[in-house]
Amino acid sequence: MSNQLEPIKDPGLPAHVHRKTDTDPKAADRAERQVATMFGISALGTVLLIVSYVFVPDDLFIFIPIMGSQNAHQLGLGLGMAISLFFIGLGAIHWAKTLMPDQEVVMQRHEFRSPEEDRKAFVDTVKEGAASSGLGRRSLIKRSLGAALGLSALSPILLLRDLGPLPGPEQKMTNWKSGTYLVTDPGNRRIKASDLEVGSVAQVMPEFANPEERHLDDIAKDALLLIRLRPVEFNLEPDRLAMTHEGIIAFSKICSHMGCAVALYEQTTKHLLCPCHQSTFDVTRAAKVIFGPAARPLPQLDITVDGEGYLIARKPFSEPVGPSFWGREK
């Protein structure tokens, strides 16, 4: 190749330059003392670590400029460990750089490709081995072996079957039934419409006979947001408006995008914002997505009051809450 022609000849490795420590024994002794000093500092670091572990109480706070109030026990342990390790390394490298021979060495490389005859012999051996096994000729063996190996791979997959149950109806259901009371979270108290001021927002849960039995699995789909607006502020279809009660509207708190808690409510704009991926929902328009990656509004729960004025769910959610999945609409 024409490019192989080098216009400027390789001047070869530069001559080795001696360091001061190579020629001056005093400099070498000084370097030795420097290395030993670093190892000595490392030992002091270990002492600091031991002292901090044994003698410094773990609730002692000290003031350190810039860093502010710091836990002395924690800081002593950490700094002691850092010093003891760092200075071992620094000493070793200083030792290598000043006192160990620094003459560069040249080692030859060899092409990985073997000589032609070896390669040919190798290929022949492989071919011969394959031929003598009869794999090419005896297609019955080849095919049945392939089938058996393929089938045997099924057993580990099958054996992992009991990792979990198959998805059932619970995937699409929540604990909200018609007539379920809305209760405060925390507190588990029933709520009256008057408990909620206009402009306020509250997280509620369905009432459980025994609140102790409410697990994370339930919270993960039942969490509900109540928001109270002035009824004139709504911009809803009549059927959606009928699902509200005196300006109180209820949405699933689980984001329809990836299931985070839609926890931020902006009172002035009446927007709900999910802190994970910034999907933004307009409360006045039935949680319509106005920004971000969510594709669906938050499911709205149909609420009303019982005879005593306590808020209840009129119907369960009409769609699954939370992130989408393949069979969601089925």
Partner 1 sequence: MTVEAKLGQVANYVDERTGAAAFLKKSLRKVFPDHWSFLLGEVALYSFVILLLSGTFLTFWFDPSMREVVYEGAYQPLEGVKMSAAYASALDISFEVRGGLLMRQIHHWAALIFMAAIVAHLLRVFFTGAFRKPREGNWIIGVGLLTLGIVEGFLGYSLPDDLLSGTGIRIAEAIIQAIPVVGSYLSYFAFGGVFPGELFIPRIYIVHVLLLPGAFLALITVHLMLVWYQKHTQYPGPGRTEKNVVGYPLMPMYMAKAGGFFFIVFGVTAFLAAVASINPIWLYGPYTPAQISAGSQPDWYMGWLDGLVRMAPPIETYFFGYTVSWNILIPGLIVPGILFTGMALYPFIESWITGDKREHHLLDRPRNAPNRTALGAMSLTFMMVTLINGGNDLIATHFDLSINQIMWGTRFGVFILPPLAFIITKRLCLSLQRADRELVLHGRETGRLLRMPSGEFVEVHEPISPEKAFVLTSHEQLPALELPAVDARGVKRAGALKNKLRARLSNANAVAIPKVSTEDLKEIESH
Count Cα atoms within 13 angstroms, Cβ side, for 279: 25
Report how many residues bind partner 1 under the rule CB under 8 A: 95
- Identify residues 267-286 at the interface with partner 1 (CB under 8 A): 275-279
Residue 79, classed as helix, strand or coil, is helix
- For partner 1, which is the closer residue by CB, 166 or 209? 166
Q: Are 281 and 262 in contact (CB under 8 A)?
A: yes
**Binding mask of the shown chain, residues 179 to 218, with x at each position contacting partner 1 by CB under 8 A:** ------x-----------------x------------xx-
Which two structure tokens, joined as six digits, stand for 131? 């031929």
* Minimum CB distance to partner 1 smaller for 45 or for 228: 45
Report, in Å, the least distance between residue 109 CB and partner 1.
5
Contacting range for partner 1; rule: CB under 8 A; set: 138-146, 147-155, 176-184, 254-262: 254-262
Q: Binding residue for partner 1 (CB under 8 A) from 34, 41, 60, 78?
A: 78
Please say whether the beta carbons of 261 and 253 come within 8 A: yes
Cα–Cα dist 330/328, whole Å: 6
| Under 8 Å between Cβ of 204 and 184 | yes
Options 9-17, 142-150, 192-200, 241-249: segment touching partner 1 (CB under 8 A)? 9-17
- Does position 61 interact with partner 1 (CB under 8 A)? The reply is no
Alpha carbons 277 and 171: distance in angstroms, whole number: 23
Residues numbered 93-152 forming contacts with partner 1, rule: CB under 8 A: 93, 95-97, 100-102, 104-109, 111-112
Tell me how far apart the alpha carbons of residues 102 and 56 are, in angstroms, rounded to a whole number.
45
Q: What's the rounded Cα separation, in Å, for the pair 128 and 108?
A: 35
Residue 265's CB: how many other CB atoms inside 10 A?
Answer: 17
> Among the candidate windows 126-134, 167-175, 191-199, 227-235, which touches partner 1 by CB under 8 A?
167-175
Confirm or reject binding of residue 65 to partner 1 (CB under 8 A). Answer: no
Question: Which residue in 13, 149, 151, 209 binds partner 1 (CB under 8 A)?
Answer: 13
Nearer to partner 1, 48 or 304 (CB): 48
Nearer to partner 1, 72 or 236 (CB): 72
As measured in angstroms, the least distance from the Cβ of 236 to partner 1 is: 21
Q: Rule CB under 8 A: is residue 15 a binding residue for partner 1? A: no
Centroid of chain to Cα 12 = 52
The CA-CA-CA angle for residues 275, 280, 284, to 5°, reads: 130
229 backbone dihedrals φ, ψ, rounded to 5°: -120, 175
